Amino acid sequence: MRHKQPPLILLIFLLIFELSHAQYCVSNRFDANYFSMSQIDSVTVQYGANYNWQDAAIQNLFMDVYFPKTSADPLAKRPLIVMIHAGGFYLGSRRQFRYHCRELAKRGFVAATIDYRIGWDVGLGKHYDTIPTSITAGYPFNCLGDRTSSIKALYRALQDQKAAIRFLVHNADSIVKIDTTQIYVAGSSAGGVSSLGLQYLTQNTFDTSYPTMHLKDSLGLLETASNTLTDSFSLAGMFSMWGAVPDTSLITIDNVIPTLLMHCTGDSLVPCATNNYYSCSNYELAQGSCEISKRLKTLNENYEYNYFDAPPPNDGCHDVYTYDYHIERFSKFIKRQFCNDNRQITVENQVVIADNVLSDGHLNPLDTYKTYVYPNPTKTNLNVLSDTPVYSMKIYNLQGKTIKTIFIDNKTAQIKISDLSAGVYIVKVTLINGSTLNRKIIIE
């Protein structure tokens, strides 16, 4: 069944809203190194504090923030990436992602790696932090931990992570010049679970899923803990490595956002498909990237799914990609968003096996006919390529005025646009069968 095209005035409104992306669609920046290491600065700040998991003492919470020096950066504000470390919610440190942050800052982002409270009853008592890491590192695999304690660990982690982002938003102008409309989160394992949780696990989710735990009474509200700041924020996208959600039905058309996923199909720690964490029946059931990617495809959302194909159980492939591969894929994923080049991409063992173009962030009915308008941005010519003959193409300005009409009657065409002023336009393509497609283009 064909979806109806939205009215042109609505498309214009949506495209104006997207113009914050356009300023970041610049050559070489974000998807490649733009600054040298000498042009990068960093600061360590405390963003909050709260009781640790044993409720024995207040834990101060810090973050390391990396960013291009303002003296070297022509942009007044920069997109933000918040990195959330791994460790099963009982191990780990923000130091894990300092390399990522430095490299992302060299590409032009502001990047922060954050503390969050870790710790839960894995079967070694409340003070397992005194036990050598060689013992504790693998202990949850023994399935002797307490399920309730693990849920509280996730809840505390999300409280802190939200507090960290509130802090960065509150200080967006005074510390590192952040564009608060362009906030991304990224994390691996526990950090991947957290990244997804920041978007899809709400106070109501916890209250209705675990009513007998009384989490907000014992630990405080999800949105207001660990500091007193009240700044709101929304996420522009995320990068989840070996992450999962309780149920992909929590991802809806109303809350879905662009997502880059990485996973190993044989991961027995955080399942790629549907299983319990650590493959322990007494731990929470989860659905990982194998299922999340299907959900994103169903909802026609912009995503990239990188998977390493290995048979289960395969604990060794829980973290199979290099740090440089993380940075390369994530930065290019975000850059495509900035340039309105939205896609659904599947990568198997680092080889692209599917790459489907999206329109304005969502699949357009014309994509069925494989109709492309490129390059975007462009300076002199605009190409049209379709496996169904194109009847015409119209170019509108953002006020809805028709600037140019071209009758094509062919599957391919090259349109001269060098006579148009630099700016943002809307292209409407009409196929010979009456189907239409709207695209935003940027003329440099």
Structure tokens at 77: 């504000």
Structure tokens at 363: 């699949």
| Amino acid making up residue 91 | L
Q: How far apart are CA 37 and CA 29, in angstroms?
A: 15
| Residue 16 resides in a domain | no
| Residue 379 resides in a domain | yes
Tens of pLDDT, residue by residue over 364-419, are: 444 455 677 878 788 888 888 887 888 888 998 877 788 899 898 888 888 888 89
Average pLDDT rounded to a whole number, residues 13-21: 48
Tens of pLDDT, residue by residue over 33-43, are: 999 999 999 99
Q: Where are the beta strands (DSSP E) in 213-342?
A: 237-241, 244-245, 259-264, 274-276, 285-288, 303-308
Q: Are 100 and 137 part of one and the same domain?
A: yes
- Judge residue 400's burial from the number of C-beta atoms within 10 Å of its C-beta, 0-12 exposed, 13-18 middle, 19 or more buried: exposed
**More confidently predicted of 320 and 44:** 44
Structural domain harbouring 386: 365-443
**pLDDT score of 368:** 52
**pLDDT score of 12:** 47
**More confidently predicted of 62 and 138:** 62
Q: Are 289 and 148 part of one and the same domain?
A: yes
Q: What CATH number should be reported for the domain holding residue 102?
A: 3.40.50.1820
**pLDDT score of 364:** 43
Q: Are 372 and 233 part of one and the same domain?
A: no
**pLDDT score of 314:** 62
Q: Are 215 and 107 part of one and the same domain?
A: yes
Q: Which letter does DSSP use for residue 244 in this model?
A: E
CB 84 within 8 A of CB 199: no
Q: Are 295 and 404 part of one and the same domain?
A: no
Tens of pLDDT, residue by residue over 182-221, are: 999 999 999 999 999 999 999 999 999 999 999 999 999 9
Q: Are 274 and 372 part of one and the same domain?
A: no
> What sections of 284-341 are H helices per DSSP?
289-298, 323-338
| Residue 313 resides in a domain | yes
**pLDDT score of 40:** 98
Q: What CATH number should be reported for the domain holding residue 376?
A: 2.60.40.1220
Beta pairing partners, 190? none
Q: Are 203 and 276 part of one and the same domain?
A: yes
| Residue 431 resides in a domain | yes
Comparing 4-13, 184-193, 240-249, 389-398, the range with the smallest average pLDDT is: 4-13
Structure tokens at 234: 């929304």
Q: How far apart are the first and last CA of the chain?
A: 37
Structure tokens at 353: 């096996």
CA proximity to 166, closest of 106, 225, 208, 229: 229
| Residue 2 resides in a domain | no
| Residue 11 resides in a domain | no
Q: Are 179 and 275 part of one and the same domain?
A: yes
ω into residue 377 within 30 of 0, thus cis? yes
What is the chain's mean pLDDT, rounded? 88
Q: Are 44 and 148 part of one and the same domain?
A: yes
Reported as a pLDDT band with limits 50, 70 and 90, residue 357 is confident
Number of domains, the chain: 2
Q: Are 76 and 167 part of one and the same domain?
A: yes
Q: Are 187 and 300 part of one and the same domain?
A: yes
| Residue 14 resides in a domain | no
Q: Are 295 and 435 part of one and the same domain?
A: no
| Residue 15 resides in a domain | no
**pLDDT score of 431:** 81
**pLDDT score of 3:** 36
Beta pairing partners, 262? 241, 306
Out of 341, 357, 373, pick the residue that ends a domain: 357
Reported as a pLDDT band with limits 50, 70 and 90, residue 118 is very high
Out of 327, 357, 387, pick the residue that ends a domain: 357
Cα torsion at 124, 125, 131, 135 (round to 10°)?
10
Tens of pLDDT, residue by residue over 418-442, are: 899 888 888 888 887 777 777 778 8
**More confidently predicted of 88 and 361:** 88
Out of 326, 357, 388, pick the residue that ends a domain: 357
